[in-house]
């Protein structure tokens, strides 16, 4: 490989923050690493996003135990990516919940995604020996389902395709707070390698329609207050459009993937170069934008070998 992926050289531990985003609602964040959420009910706790390994999941559990001794009953996974789901076994929850489409993607491409992400993010997979295998849900749903943690209502919804075809969000109505997974990021690059650019904006509109008081995003700081929420939604929209439009223009005139890469960099570098994981995400984002613009609706499966071939093509 001509050059290592940016994330392969990122071996420094990140500072963890544990931020209350509503009464009994918390965001576990780590300077652009994958976030997790905590929802405390009357008698038990729901975790949103399991982390990449049981080692990282135990860091979330440590924060949970600093605020409550209630048992963890549910783990909700917003999509299928390995860095989000492979730590699920650490929580000992009776219920592991995904959207039905996300489960189908675990079956279709879960192992390939694990192998690919293991190569891309060695730091996140330290302690990988403790991962028991692919994470499969105990419960799935299609459009929406509601869970009651005692009297606390938690709504799980598929609001449209964005980061993947199977994204779900988690809304807690009593606080008007949403856990969005990687549909929304804050000062962190969106990973679009399995995304649907043409649908992402409408999905953001659907989230905006809730007029939320806070969001726990997929990466980056917790978003507190409507001004911060709205700014993050528009910033995410700008990132997605700024990636797709230049690539689509190149594809429309029959240009190469390398030309799309150069066009996207020219548009995005001035605005987003200082974002967390920007350099890591960019090659995958450009490859997927170029494919979608050429009519490939279902993202091609990433494998460790395809990662290398794609990077070599981008180097020209």
Of the candidates 207, 203, 286, 208, the one whose C-alpha atom is nearest the C-alpha of residue 242 is 286
* Residue 12 exposure: Cα atoms within 13 Å on the Cβ side: 5
Give the C-alpha separation, 266 to 221, whole Å.
27
CA-nearest of 243, 229, 249 to 196 is 243
Calpha distance 34→49 (Å, rounded): 8
Question: Domain extents for the chain?
Answer: 7-242
How far, in Å, CA of 213 to CA of 27, rounded? 14
pLDDT of residue 5: 54
- Output the pTM of the full model: 0.95
How far does CA 167 lie from the centroid of its chain? 9
- The dihedral over CA atoms of 280, 81, 46, 21, expressed in degrees to the nearest 10, equals 30
Tokens 């995304």: give the residue.
195
Provide the CA 172 distance to its chain's centre, in angstroms.
19
What is the full per-residue pLDDT of the chain (316 aa) written as tens digits? 345 554 555 557 778 999 999 999 999 999 889 999 999 999 999 999 999 999 999 999 999 999 999 999 999 999 999 999 999 999 999 999 999 999 999 999 999 999 999 988 888 999 999 999 999 999 999 999 999 999 999 999 999 999 999 999 999 999 999 999 999 999 999 999 999 999 999 999 999 999 999 999 999 999 999 999 999 999 999 999 999 999 999 999 999 999 999 999 999 999 999 999 999 999 999 999 999 999 999 999 998 889 888 888 887 6
- Whole-angstrom distance, CA of residue 177 vs CA of residue 63: 20
Nearest to 286 by CA among 156, 193, 153, 164: 193
Residue 139's DSSP bridge partners are 97
Eight-class DSSP state of 182:
T
Please state the CATH superfamily assignment of the domain spanning residues 7-242 in this structure.
Ribonuclease Z/Hydroxyacylglutathione hydrolase-like (3.60.15.10)
């Amino acid at each position: 490989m001509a050059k290592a992926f940016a994330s392969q050289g990122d071996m420094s531990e990140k500072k963890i923050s544990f931020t209350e985003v509503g009464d009994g609602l918390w965001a576990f964040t780590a300077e652009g690493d994958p976030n997790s959420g905590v929802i405390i009910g009357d008698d038990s706790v729901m975790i949103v996003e399991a982390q990449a390994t049981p080692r990282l999941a135990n860091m979330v559990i440590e924060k949970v135990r600093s605020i409550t001794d209630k048992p963890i009953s549910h783990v909700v996974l917003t999509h299928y990516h390995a860095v989000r789901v492979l730590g699920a076994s650490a929580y000992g929850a009776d219920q592991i919940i995904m959207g039905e489409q996300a489960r189908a993607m675990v079956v279709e491409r879960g192992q390939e995604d694990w192998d690919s992400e293991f190569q891309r993010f060695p730091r996140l997979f330290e302690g990988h020996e403790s991962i028991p295998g692919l994470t499969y849900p105990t419960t799935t749903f299609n459009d929406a389902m509601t869970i009651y943690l005692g009297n606390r209502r938690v709504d799980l919804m598929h609001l449209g395709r964005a980061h993947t075809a199977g994204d779900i969000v988690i809304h807690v109505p009593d606080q008007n707070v949403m856990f969005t997974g990687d549909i929304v990021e804050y000062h962190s690059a969106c990973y679009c390698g399995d995304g649907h650019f043409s649908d992402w904006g409408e999905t953001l509109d659907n989230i905006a329609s809730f007029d939320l008081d806070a969001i726990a995003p997929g990466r980056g700081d917790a978003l507190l207050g409507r001004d911060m929420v709205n700014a993050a939604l528009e910033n995410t929209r700008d990132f997605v459009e700024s990636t797709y439009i230049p690539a689509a223009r190149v594809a429309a005139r029959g240009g190469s993937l390398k030309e799309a890469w150069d066009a996207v960099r020219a548009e995005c570098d001035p605005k987003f170069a200082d974002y967390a994981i920007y350099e890591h995400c960019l090659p995958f984002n450009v490859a997927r934008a170029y494919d979608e613009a050429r009519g490939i609706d279902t993202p091609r499966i990433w494998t460790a070998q395809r990662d290398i071939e794609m990077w070599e093509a981008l180097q020209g």
